[in-house]
Chain A
Amino acid sequence: MLLFKLAFRNVIGAGLRTWLNVVVLSLSFVTIIGMQGLYKGMQYQSEDAMIRVEYAGGQYWHPKYDPYDPFTLEESHQPVTGAARRAVEAGDAIPILITQATIYPQGRVSSALLKGIPPEQEIMEFPSEQLLRTDHAIPALIGTRMAKANRLAVGDYLTVRWRDANGTFDAQDVQIVHIFSTIVGSVDGGQIWVPLQHLQSMLKMPGEATLITLKQEISEPPVLPGWDYKGMDILMADLREMVASKQVGGSIMYFLLLFLALLAIFDTQVLSIWRRKKEMGTLMALGLTRRQLIGLFTIEGGMYGILAALLGAIYGTPLIVWFATHGWEMPEMVDDFGFAMGSKLVPSYSFFLVLGSTLLVLLTVTIVSFLPTRRIAKLEPTDALRGKLT
């Protein structure tokens, strides 16, 4: 206890030098916690949006379907029969049919995915009901990204060319009946949604689907023979990897900040030991062992961390709470990141996130404070009293 009191008095007594270290370290604290919260918030927000809009309770894929390989689309379709059909009829699942198509917006040639969805579905938070509000032979739904990329507006006719199940070319004009705005880019970019029955008829694939999306409320996904179930661990794997990689990239910045703070603490410790040789000699003469002396200096260093945590909490807490409440306005370019991010990013801070980050910084500060004190182990009291450091 004596050592703590002594250390506290020394730290406070050092004045400006202490407060400079504490301020820099507290900035690291707040930045680390803030950034971690941002990444967590980004992940939660994206996952939540993707579940609501696209994945719901998980998906069943045709065994040959690979969303990253358009070559597989030609063969990834099969009739929805047996248990799958019963699930669809019970309203527990919806079939989705996907094919490659060529579109001709303003006479330009471009590739797109043509997706068929039951307009009356309620499993995905997706405005498919808009496909019912038209008299046009083939109503189509696109997202804002698709509309922007191809300069399409509601009411426009778009020529779409595709190959049917037999491989014969077919082409029709579809009418854009609605343009939806979603933060989930994976249901928007390069995609045209049409009523499932229309697409089945266009492709000569009656009753067929490429994948089946399960209702979110179903806790235990049933086994559907002929379909491979993909849970959130698979569907979200890419997103989670992407967040992790962004986190690594972002951590460079706050590790740099932490490194600067630690360097300042290390420097302060080295300087303290050099300037306080006579004080150390006196303390040893008064009966303090070398180990206690090392402890004293390490505690002094560690106290920078504690003070920084307290200072960080004073100005960081309202800042973090404000961000967590109001969110962070995102620029338009985040649409290209591949994340399901809205116009606002709301950070997510958990108790364990704050505690973990604080402990990590405190531990690092303590280790850095301890390192220069090892020289004290070799210190002779008589040399120290004379101001010598061997």
Chain B
Amino acid sequence: MIGVTSMNRIGRAIFVLMVSQLTPLLNGQQQPTAKELLQALDDNMVAENRVTVSTMIIHGRRGSRSIQSKSWTQGSEKAYTEYLAPARERGTKMLKVGDQLWTYSPATDRIIQIAGHMLRQSVMGSDLSYEDMMEDQTLSEMYSPEIVGSEPVDGRDCWILELTAKNPGITYHSRRVWIDKERNIALKETRYAASGKLLKEALVKEVFQVEGRWYPKHMTFKDMLSTGEGTEFIVDSIDFNAEIPDYIFTKAVLRR
């Protein structure tokens, strides 16, 4: 009996060992490469043309305020945003073409180019700075990815992708992105300084499917060095590959 039992145990151990040795190989067949994952993420997020109506909720020390805006985006280089509400911000416009950014304020009827130090200022008091909006390269272009593990985020199984800047001059030296294994959408992202200090965190709270792709519906963006509650972004509506006339991305549109 003892001998039979021992044999069974040995046999079971060998089976377990074989399976454990085989599992990575099986997984390897299913697991996409880090580059493929990042490319899929870029493909999902960047559209040829995109028209979005969104609401930004800024949580400050003296309470919260909501700002609604409509944005026209072409690839990752051109973007035009017009603020719709509240009345105080209505008519404020922002145009980004390549590495240049202008804002227009109806109160002063002036167009101001945001450059240099001004790029570090926050957009409408949010946790987002103008320079966060100036990134005009896709993640694949800027970073070398590496899969460092997998972890669930809000119950969804995610790959953890570590991104390291390919070249000096990239705003954030490294990032960590949690990508939904099924939907190719980042559910969480952390951005780091060259020293490794955590600077910013983006957390997707709700996603929705539009025109066959998954897109963040509700997310929070937080400056991790400050004690604020962060800024929420809610996508009210989005239209991929919408027709956007060329004049939208000219400075003349700011005064229209």
Grouping DSSP codes into helix (H, G, I), strand (E, B) and loop, the A interface class, with mixed when no group exceeds half, is mixed
Q: Which residues of A contact B199 (CB under 8 A)?
A: 161, 169, 171
A168 touches B225 (CB 8 A): no
* A247 beta carbon closer than 8 Å to chain B: no
Query: What is the size category of the interface that chain B forms with chain A?
Result: 20 to 34
Q: Which residues of B contact A107 (CB under 8 A)?
A: 225-228
- The smallest beta-carbon distance between B2 and chain A, in angstroms, is 63
Q: A71-B117, A100-B120 are in contact. Are A171 and B193 (CB under 8 A)?
A: yes
- Tell me the bound Cα distance from A166 to B194 in angstroms: 11
A167 touches B169 (CB 8 A): yes
The contact string, 1 if C-beta is below 8 Å from chain B, for chain A 280-320, is 00000000000000000000000000000000000000000
Chain A residue at minimum C-beta to C-beta distance from B172: A169
Q: A74-B116, A161-B199, A170-B195 are in contact. Are A109 and B223 (CB under 8 A)?
A: yes
- The smallest beta-carbon distance between B198 and chain A, in angstroms, is 9
Q: Which residues of A contact B115 (CB under 8 A)?
A: 71
A100 touches B117 (CB 8 A): yes
For window 102-120 of chain B, which residues contact chain A by CB distance below 8 Å? 115-118, 120
* A106 beta carbon closer than 8 Å to chain B: yes
- Tell me the bound Cα distance from A109 to B225 in angstroms: 8
* A159 beta carbon closer than 8 Å to chain B: yes
For window 104-131 of chain A, which residues contact chain B by CB distance below 8 Å? 104, 106-109, 111
B173 touches A102 (CB 8 A): no
B226 touches A171 (CB 8 A): no
* A70 beta carbon closer than 8 Å to chain B: yes
* A181 beta carbon closer than 8 Å to chain B: no
Grouping DSSP codes into helix (H, G, I), strand (E, B) and loop, the B interface class, with mixed when no group exceeds half, is loop
Chain B residue at minimum C-beta to C-beta distance from A70: B117
B194 touches A164 (CB 8 A): yes
The contact string, 1 if C-beta is below 8 Å from chain B, for chain A 115-150, is 000000000000000000000000000000000000
Q: A102-B120, A168-B168 are in contact. Are A108 and B194 (CB under 8 A)?
A: no
A167 touches B197 (CB 8 A): no
Chain A residue at minimum C-beta to C-beta distance from B129: A102
* A345 beta carbon closer than 8 Å to chain B: no
* A211 beta carbon closer than 8 Å to chain B: no
- The smallest beta-carbon distance between B209 and chain A, in angstroms, is 34
* A172 beta carbon closer than 8 Å to chain B: yes
* A73 beta carbon closer than 8 Å to chain B: yes
The contact string, 1 if C-beta is below 8 Å from chain B, for chain A 160-184, is 0100101111111000000000000
B227 touches A108 (CB 8 A): yes
B195 touches A109 (CB 8 A): no
CB contact between A106 and one of B170, B194, B197, B227 (< 8 Å): that residue: B227
Q: Which residues of B contact A172 (CB under 8 A)?
A: 193, 195, 197
The contact string, 1 if C-beta is below 8 Å from chain A, for chain B 168-205, is 11111100000000000000000001110101000000
Q: Which residues of B contact A100 (CB under 8 A)?
A: 117, 120
- Tell me the bound Cα distance from A183 to B173 in angstroms: 40
Q: A106-B227, A159-B225 are in contact. Are A170 and B193 (CB under 8 A)?
A: yes
- Tell me the bound Cα distance from A109 to B172 in angstroms: 19
- Tell me the bound Cα distance from A74 to B122 in angstroms: 19
B169 touches A169 (CB 8 A): no
A171 touches B197 (CB 8 A): yes
Q: Which residues of B contact A168 (CB under 8 A)?
A: 165, 168-173, 193-194
